[in-house]
Structure 1
Amino acid sequence: MSTAFHSNAAFGDQLRSFSRAIGQIVLQRNAATGALLFFAVLCASPRLACGLLIGAVTGNVISVIVENDDAPAFRDDLYGFNGALAALAAFAFLDDPSRATAVAIVAAMFATFLANTLTRVLSRYRLPIFSSPAIIVTWCWLPLLIERGDTGAIPQVAAGFIPMLQAAFAGLAPITFATGALPGALIAAALFASRPSQAGWALAGSALGAALHGLGGASDSVVLSGACGFNAALAALAAAPLGKRYALVALVAAVLIERVIDCIGIAALTAPFVLASWAVIALERRLSGSSKQGDSHVVHPHA
């Protein structure tokens, strides 16, 4: 009986760690956040949910191979989420299930290996890796395998308070390669489960990001579809611990970077958020003269 209790406890710990790793997609080390995030993806697309599980499992398996049990990144459940994002990209961009699954597994493996390397490199500058490994790996295979079909036109949506509110929620969905206000609302709920202020920052970032994209020339249909808010939302989440001013600077920088990358003609993914967050973190340290060594791995390490 004692052995059974210990076995159940160990499984429970593993499941909690797995859920926390998924929660890191939105910068939260929180098991409830991870569970709600998975549910959001499942509601958007069972196919994407399978990709999320494949990537997270692959990333966690590889992390056991490449990292020590007492390493900060391993202890803080930071390996599974890049594998999950890399796999989600494969299922989002590739229609054929067999090809998507194969690419998802390989991409998740490489993203996790790369995360291990980048963690060591960026730790010298006390910068988090964020989703950079998944971005780099996706950029490597995307030009070779992308299926260039008709993605369909974005439907016209009448402007107004309700459409703008829906767009703010929908702006969170592309974080997991999903679309729609319902998945976005569930992601907001996942952030609320970690800390209510996180949901507030994400929604504010999404709304302001969409507004800035509109001022920058994006069409109303694109802005109201929710396609313009996720990088600004993530940047606001990452920079919020530094203060309101830095959060605002980060989301504006994310929008500007995203506009530039879109003009170049490559898939921006979450690169604008990563670059903007790195820049703001470096700016804050320079202005504050901070020299203390901190934990650069976890933005919000809540259990």
Structure 2
Amino acid sequence: MKTDKVYFWDPYLKGIGQIMLQNNALTGLLFLIGILINSPLMAVAAVVAVLVGTLTAKVLKFNEDNINSGLYGFNATLVGVALIAFFEPTITIWISIIVLSAVSTLIMNFCLEKKIPVFTFPFIVLTWISLYVFHSVAPIPDAAPDYLEELIHYHPFSLLDYGLGFGEVIFQGSLISGVIFFIAVYMSSPTAALYGLFGALFGVIVAILLKDRIEDVKLGMFSFNAVLCAIVFSGPKKINGLYVVIAVLLSGITEEIMLRLDLPVLTFPFVMGTWLTLVIKDVLVKRFYPSTNIE
């Protein structure tokens, strides 16, 4: 059987591209460029993290196809960028990036073997633990200037700046980075990119309907999770649009609850919205309409 040639950089660049579910090395390279333009330090963290996460899989001889597809790199990359976004880049933080990137690979491999659709959940759990430890157990100063404040004051509210949401998926509050990320996804999958754009704008509408959430919209909180939800369920069939709407709505509701409870959101609304939509798609629909072609 003829297989596509695998270049040595594929597992690493695809590992970055898989942040938005794109098995494409060029997409990963553009993501890295988008991060670099906005924050060279975060770009370094992304490179360190994806190298550690992927090399861990190689050393432990995990599934080669999964390695070459970048499945062991995207959670690690997000962990690396997140720790630099939230904390001062002390030696402890850099050591944590290395250790947690390796741990994310172990978690990811377990979930792949068990066929659990884990998405970015390893990143979420490891970052939640880091936030607790470095705020309450072994305090490390927050990143300066404050990341969230930079995002809040980046621009006055507009659908263009905050509706896209692509930039905030990888902790980038720059419009330029967001546009680069959109182009990167479009080059890999135009359908996914356009659905992601729709999801982001729909997420903004959900936020407005929930009232008093303009500041959160300005943070991209109701758009970047929606982008990921839309990309997951993007596809050529009409039913895909319905799944996107359901996933974004469930993601928005999850996010609203977390914000009211003052919980760190990250990409958990995306994961929860996607999990619940998969239940609707793969369990309820197939159970009650087993003879319909509704994929």
Question: Does structure 1 residue 265 correspond to structure 2 residue 262?
Answer: yes
1:120 pairs with one of 113, 134, 138 = 113
Quickly say closer, same or farther: Cα 1:58–1:156, change in 2 above 3 A: closer
Q: Deviations over 1:58-98 (max 9, x none)?
A: 0011111334344x533432001111111111111111342
Q: CA deviation at 1:157?
A: 5.3
Q: CA shift at 1:279, angstroms?
A: 1.4
- The answer on whether the counterparts of 1:27 and 1:238 sit within 8 Å (CA) in structure 2 is yes
Q: Deviations over 1:236-269 (max 9, x none)?
A: 1112236110011001111111111122222111
Q: Deviations over 1:42-69 (max 9, x none)?
A: 1110011011001100001111133434
Separation in 2 of the partners of 1:156 and 1:140?
28
- TM alignment of 1:56-95, pairs within 5 A: 56-70=50-64, 72-95=65-88
Q: Secondary structure at the match of 1:14?
A: coil
Q: Which moved more, 1:210-219 or 1:141-150?
A: 141-150
With a CA cutoff of 8 Å and minimum separation of 6, indicate the structure with the bigger relative contact order: 1
Task: Look up the equivalent residue of 1:15 and give its one-letter code.
Answer: W
8 Å CA contact 2:154–2:173 kept in 1: the answer is no
> What amino acid sits opposite 1:21 in the alignment?
G
Specify the alignment match of 1:217 in structure 2.
211
Does structure 2 conserve the Cα–Cα contact (< 8 Å) formed by 1:18 and 1:80? yes
Structure 1 unpaired stretches of 5+: 1-9, 292-303
Quick one: distance in 2 between partners of 1:36 and 1:178?
Answer: 13
- The offset of 1:118, in angstroms, is 2.0
1:215 is aligned with what amino acid? L
Q: Which moved more, 1:222-231 or 1:46-55?
A: 222-231
Amino acid at match of 2:173: T
The answer (yes or no) to whether the contact 2:10–2:70 under 8 Å persists in 1 is no
1:182 to 176, 179, 184: 176
Q: Where does structure 2 lack aligned partners over 5 or more consecutive residues?
A: 136-140, 291-295
TM-score (norm 2): 0.85
CA 1:211 to 1:109, structure 2 compared with 1: closer, same or farther past 3 Å? same
Q: Is the 8 A contact 1:66 1:113 kept in 2?
A: no
Q: Deviations over 1:14-58 (max 9, x none)?
A: 112321111100100011111111111111100110110011000
Match for residue 160 of structure 2 among 165, 170, 175: 165
Distance 2:19 2:103 in 1: 17
1:175 partner SS: helix
> What corresponds to 1:131 in structure 2?
120
* Alpha-carbon RMSD: 2.3
Identity %: 24
Aligned length: 272
Cα offset, 1:158, TM superposition: 4.9
The equivalent of 1:256 in structure 2 is 253
Which residues of 2 match residues 236-255 of structure 1 at below 5 A?
236-241=230-235, 243-255=240-252
Q: Cα–Cα, structure 1 residues 34 and 13, in superposed 2: closer, same or farther, change >3 Å? A: same
User: C-alpha separation between the residues in 2 aligned to 1:55 and 1:220?
Assistant: 33
Runs ≥4 residues deviating over 6 A? none
Deviation of the 1:166 alpha carbon: 2.1
Check the 8 A contact 1:239/1:280 in 2, yes or no: no
Mapped contact 1:58–1:105 kept (Cα < 8 A): yes
In the alignment, which residue of structure 2 is the partner of 1:107? 100
